[in-house]
Structure 1
């Protein structure tokens, strides 16, 4: 079994950290291949970067020659999962939904600890769209940027664990979800402080991808995630890799 794990930003060191956590979680015999988008932001913090990242992730996956059995989108609260599901015939797992689904198996309520406060509404919106917000006790910001997680892991553990403890005591959370792909590998240290189960989305998504593949299941193509209809797309690289859409040059700007 081969699972593609796609970082949503272009920071190679973060791709490496996500890949390491994915391989740690994977079962024997599961091959993890980590991908970094060819273009896009160094970190994703806000809707503008999230939409740009969604295009970059779809482009990077379509450029992969294959074969592979599943795709994990390793961005917490980011857009793009639905597009990948239309484009691919294999299971597509987003770490946001994967972590929340597993959290609800372990406790009545869960809290998400993320990066900057501006990410909170975006994560809440994604959980709402997925029907997962009802049992979310809170989404808390650690105050750290995505790149600070990568550059200062000791501070990251301290700030994330502090918010996790507050979520348990103040918000009555029974499970903690790490709300950023860049937090991969921090769950044990946060669990030691918070005293409740802590879920990393990358690990959760890999295990769910293995389960769906092992059961022979993939995305329904009957309505919502049917393949995109053939049509002209002006000056757009996406799909050129597979001849998905005819390409036309852009007119004068």
Structure 2
């Protein structure tokens, strides 16, 4: 079984940490592939960057050319999963719904610890659309930007623990880590809090293994039917772009040709 894990931003170091967490969670015999889009924002902190990322992820999937049995989308609360479900003929899972579904199996109410406060409404909307918000006690931001998560790992864990304590006081019995960049921090946070902590990347990988193992995939009879054949100007975008270099530096208008090995 091969599972592709897609980091929605273009930061390769974050792809590496996501890959490591997914690999650790995978069962023997499951191969983890991981990559990120060829273009788009280096981190996603808001709707504008979220929609750019969704298009970039779909572009990457449309041109990847590597077979896999399931896709895990490693963005928390971000758009694009439904488009991938229409595009692909394999199961597609995202870490938002996977984390919440796993958490609801472990406690009456769960909570989410994420990055910036501005991400909170976006995550709440995603959980509401998925029918998962009713059992969410709270969603709280740590005040850390996505890229800040990697700058000082010790401080990152401390801030996550502090914020998670607030979420537990609000009634959560289980904590979900609300960013792919928090992958791998669940055990340390759980030890400090004394409550289960769900890493969305790990949860999505285990759900993907189960769905593939059961021989199931996305229903295409209605909501996620394949896109109707029609002309889409300049699509896929990456096929019409070429890396352009100026004195050894990538120009702002190009896409990066240096992506993670899958």
Where do 5+ consecutive residues of structure 2 fail to align?
241-262
Secondary structure of the residue that 2:4 maps to in structure 1? Answer: strand
- Is the 2:5–2:35 contact (alpha carbons within 8 Å) kept by the matching residues of 1? yes
What is residue 220 of structure 1 aligned with on the other side? 219
Within 2, Cα distance between the matches of 1:40 and 1:31? 26
- Say whether 1:193 aligns with 2:192: yes
1:172 counterpart residue number: 171
After TM superposition, the structure 1 stretch with the greater mean CA deviation from structure 2, 98-107 or 147-156, is 147-156
With the length of structure 1 as denominator, give the TM-score of the two structures: 0.93
Distance (whole Å) between structure 2 residues aligned to residue 58 and residue 70 of structure 1: 15
Report deviation, 1:236.
2.8
Asked if the contact 2:112/2:138 (under 8 Å) is kept, the reply is yes
* Number of the residue aligned with 1:84: 84
Residues of 1 paired with 2:174 and 2:69: CA distance? 30
1:237 deviates by 1.8
Tell me the equivalent position of 1:126: 126
SS of residue matched to 2:66: coil
**CA distance, structure 2, for counterparts of residue 77 and residue 168 of structure 1:** 20
Normalised by the length of structure 2, the TM-score is: 0.90
Unmatched segments (≥5 aa) in structure 1? 242-253
* Gap change, CA 1:238 and 1:88, over 3 Å in 2: farther
Instruction: State how far apart, in whole Å, the 2-side matches of 1:83 and 1:152 are.
Output: 35
Counterpart-to-counterpart distance in 1, 2:103 and 2:238: 35
Q: Is the 8 A contact 1:72 1:95 kept in 2?
A: yes
Between the aligned partners of 1:30 and 1:8, the Cα distance in structure 2 is 22
Q: Does 1:156 align with 2:192?
A: no
Do the aligned residues in 2 keep the contact of 1:71 with 1:91 (CA within 8 Å)?
yes
Displacement of 1:235 in angstroms is 2.3
Q: What is the RMSD of the two structures over their aligned residues, measured on CA atoms? A: 1.2
Is 1:15 the counterpart of 2:49 in the alignment? no
**In the alignment, which residue of structure 1 is the partner of 2:181?**
182
- The C-alpha deviation readout for 1:200-221, integer Å capped at 9, x for no partner, is 0000000000000000000000
Q: Is the 8 A contact 2:45 2:119 kept in 1?
A: yes
User: What aligned pairs does 1:209-248 form with structure 2 within 5 A after superposition?
Assistant: 209-237=208-236
1:92 positional shift: 0.2
